[in-house]
Chains A and B, each alone.
Chain A
Amino acid sequence: MINLAGRDILHNWGKFVMTGVGLGLLIGVTLTMAGVYRGMVDDAQALIANSGADLWVVQQDTLGPYAEPSAIHDDVARDLLLQPGVMATGNVAYLTMQIQHAEQEVRIMLVGIEADKPGTPAYLISGRPITQSHYEALADIKSGLNLGERIRIRRHEYTVVGLTRRMVSSSGDPMIFVPIKDAQEVQFLKDNDALLNERARTTAPSRLPGAISPATSQMVNAVLVQLKPGFLDEEVAASIRRWKHLQSYTRAQMEEILVARLIATSAKQIFMFLVILSIVSAAIVAFIIYTMTMNKIREIAVLKLIGAGNRIISLMILQQALGLGLIGFVVGKTAATFWAPLFPKYVLLIPGDALRGFFLVMVMCALASSFAIRAALRVDPASAIGG
C-alpha cells in the first residue's frame, strides 16, 4: 500500500521542511530553557562539589555563605580541628563584586582561600596553585582572564597564576580565588576616612565603661571542614552545632539550600516558560497540521469517495504530524546544541531531557493532529461530486 503521508511530504518537501525548521527553532528554545534550569542546578552542585568540603560551618541561624550573610571569626577553624572526626578545616570568604577587565565590567565572585586547605580548587586547567600569601589569584576561565594577567581588586593588583573551569557562583558568576587575608581585607577593610572615624570613636574619652574593645581576630564567611574517614557528617555537624554554637551544614543540606531554596523561584519561572512554550508549540503544530489538511480537503473527499477508509486518512494526517515533529525535534536539538555555548550562563543539555523532549514533541504532535483528523473525517465524500 502506498504511504500517502510520505508521498505528500515528498511532493511538497520544501514547504514541509521549512515548516519543520520553524517549529524546530521553537522546540530549540524550549530545550534551551530546560538546559538553563539544568545549568543552574549543575552550577550549584559544582559549587558544592568543587569546594571539597564535607561540612560548612557558618554563623548561627543563617543559611550559609551562599544564601545569607554569615560572619564568624577565623580562629574558629583552629578550634574545629580539635573536634572528633575533623581532619582539615579552611577559612573561606565570599564576596560578589565587579572588576574591570579589558575595559569592561566583569561580575565575579571573589573567594578567599587558605592554600592547600578545604576550599582550594581541586584541579587547575593550567598554571599553578597559589603559593604566595598575597596578590596571587586563580581565575575561572569564564572570567576571560588569562595566565599572567594582572587585575586590580580594590587597592591591590593581583597576578593570575592558575585557571580553573566550572568554578562559578550559584548565580553563574565566575570565581576568582585569592589568599584569605587579601579577601578579608577586600571584604572587611574600610577606607582611610572610615578607619579614622572608627579610631576616633573607639578611643574617645566619652567611651562608655565596659564597651567592647575592637576585635583582634578577623572575620570570614564560613569554615569548610573535611572529615576523617569513618565519621558520619550528620554526627559531626550535630556536635559542632551543640558545642560551638555555630550552624553546621552537611553536603546534602547545603545542596538542598542551594537547589531547593536559592534557585527555586528561578526554577519555577523557567518551568512556567517551559509550560507556555510547550502550549504555544502544540498550538502551532495543531494549526499547521490543520491548515495542511484543509488544503487537501478535495483530495480527502475524493479518497473517501473512491473507498479509502477513515484509518487510511487518519494515518496519513498522523504520520505527517509525527514527521513534522521529527524534523522539528532534530532541528531544535541541533540548534540548541549550537547556541547553548553562546549563552552567558551555563546551559546544560542532557540526553535524558532530549529523550523526554522527543517523546513530548511526538505526543504533542499526535494530539495536535487530532483536530485535523476530526475535520478530515467530517469531510463528506459527496462534496467531490459537483453541485
Chain B
Amino acid sequence: MSTPAIEIVNLTKRYGQGDTAVDALKGVNMTIWPGEVVGLVGPSGSGKSTLLKCLGAVIEPTSGKMQLGGQTIFDNIWKIDDLRTLRRDRIGFVFQAPYLIPFLDVTDNIALLPMLAGVPDDKARIRARELLDALDVGHRAHAQVSQLSGGEQQRVSIARALANHPPVILADEPTAPLDSERALNVVRLLGQMAEQYQTAIIVVTHDEKIIPTFKRIYHIRDGRTYEEAGEGRTA
C-alpha cells in the first residue's frame, strides 16, 4: 500500500466571516488506504457532513491539504467541471436514503454513471448487470425503483456508487433506514466490495450496531478527529 486512497492533513472549514464565522472543521487529519472500510462517528453538529462534503469535492475547505490517490484537490487549479469529473470518476456516494432516480429502472440507475463518463450504453448496462449480480439483486435488474424493498434499494445504491470503479466511496449513514440484520448485511457488503475492488470506504454513522464492525474508526467532535482502533470484522 504505497499511496493512501485519501489523505487529509490539518483540514479546516470556516463558514461566514467576522463575528458570525463558524469553524466547522478545525484541523482534521485522516489517512485511509485502498480496500479499507473506516467508520466516521460523531454527534450532530460535530462536522461530519462538512467533512463528507469536502471529501466529496462539493465544498472547498478553507485550509489544509486533501489528496485523493496522491493527487492534491482544491489547490486553486481545479475548476467546477474538473470537480464534477472527479466526483463522477473517482468518488462513489451512498446516501442515508438511497436517492435512486425514480424514473429510471434499476439497471439504468447504475448504468447512468458509466454513460455520463462516456462509456457506450450497452457496455454500461453490462457493467450494471455485473454489479447487480455481485450484490445479489440481479433478479431486480428491470424493476422500477418503487418496486424495490428498502434493503434492495440500498444495495442498488451501493452498486451505483461502484459503477465507475471509484477508488473512494463515501457512505452517509447507509444503514439508518434498515433493521439490524439488513444493516449488518450492508456493512458486510461494503467490506466485500472494498476488498474486491480495492476501494476505500468511509462510512459516516451513528448506528451502534455497526460501529464495532469497523477496523478503524475516526471520531469527530467539535471539528476535530480522533482515531480509534476498532474491533473490526469487515475489512
Where the two chains meet, the residues of A that have a C-beta atom closer than 8 Å to any C-beta of B are 1-2, 4, 7-8, 10-12, 298-299, 302-309, 312, 380-382, 384-387
Contacts and interface: CB of A to CB of B under 8 A. Distances in A.
**What 8 pairs across the A-B complex have the smallest Cβ distances?**
A307-B88, A387-B49, A11-B103, A382-B58, A8-B103, A7-B103, A302-B99, A382-B53
Contact of A386 (B49, B104, B112, B113): B49
A24 B96 CA distance: 41
A309 B84 contact: yes
A306 B53 CA distance: 13
A307 B99 contact: no
Contacts of B144: 11
Nearest to B170: A385
Contacts of A305: 56, 58, 87, 93
B108 interface: yes
Contact of A2 (B59, B84, B112): B112
A306 B93 contact: yes
B228 interface: no
Main secondary structure of the interface of B (DSSP, over half): helix
B173 interface: yes
A305 to B, nearest CB: 6
Given A7-B104, A302-B101, A307-B87, A385 B116 contact: no
A29 to B, nearest CB: 32
Interface in B47-86: 48-50, 52-53, 56, 58-59, 81, 84-85
Interface of B: 48-50, 52-53, 56, 58-59, 81, 84-85, 87-89, 93, 95-96, 99, 101-104, 108, 111-113, 115-117, 121, 144, 160, 170, 172-173
Contacts, number: 82
Contacts of A2: 104, 108, 111-112, 115, 121
Nearest to A309: B84
A386 B160 CA distance: 18
B81 A309 contact: yes
B88 A386 contact: no
Nearest to B101: A299
Contacts of A312: 116
27 contacts: A1-B115, A2-B121, A4-B101, A7-B103, A7-B108, A12-B103, A299-B99, A303-B101, A305-B56, A305-B58, A305-B93, A306-B87, A306-B113, A306-B116, A307-B85, A307-B89, A307-B116, A307-B117, A308-B116, A309-B116, A312-B116, A382-B53, A385-B58, A386-B49, A386-B96, A387-B48, A387-B50
Contacts of B102: 11, 299
Contact of A10 (B99, B103, B115): B103
Contacts of B121: 1-2
Contacts of B113: 306-307
Contacts of B87: 305-307, 381
Contacts of A1: 115-116, 121
A7 B144 CA distance: 12
B115 A307 contact: no
A4 B88 CA distance: 17
Main secondary structure of the interface of A (DSSP, over half): helix
B129 to A, nearest CB: 15
A385 B81 contact: no
A323 to B, nearest CB: 13
Contact of A381 (B58, B81, B101): B58
B191 to A, nearest CB: 22
Given A1-B115, A385-B58, A386-B172, 11 more contacts: A2-B108, A2-B115, A2-B121, A10-B103, A306-B113, A307-B88, A312-B116, A384-B93, A384-B95, A385-B95, A387-B52
Nearest to B116: A307
Contacts of A298: 99
B58 A306 contact: no
A385 B160 CA distance: 16
B84 A382 contact: no
A294 to B, nearest CB: 15
A62 B96 CA distance: 83
Nearest to B54: A382
A2 B115 CA distance: 8
A384 B85 CA distance: 17
B103 A385 contact: no
Given A2-B108, A307-B117, A386 B84 contact: no
Nearest to A303: B101
Contacts of A10: 103
A47 to B, nearest CB: 56
A303 B100 CA distance: 10
Contacts of B58: 305, 380-382, 385
Contacts of B52: 385, 387
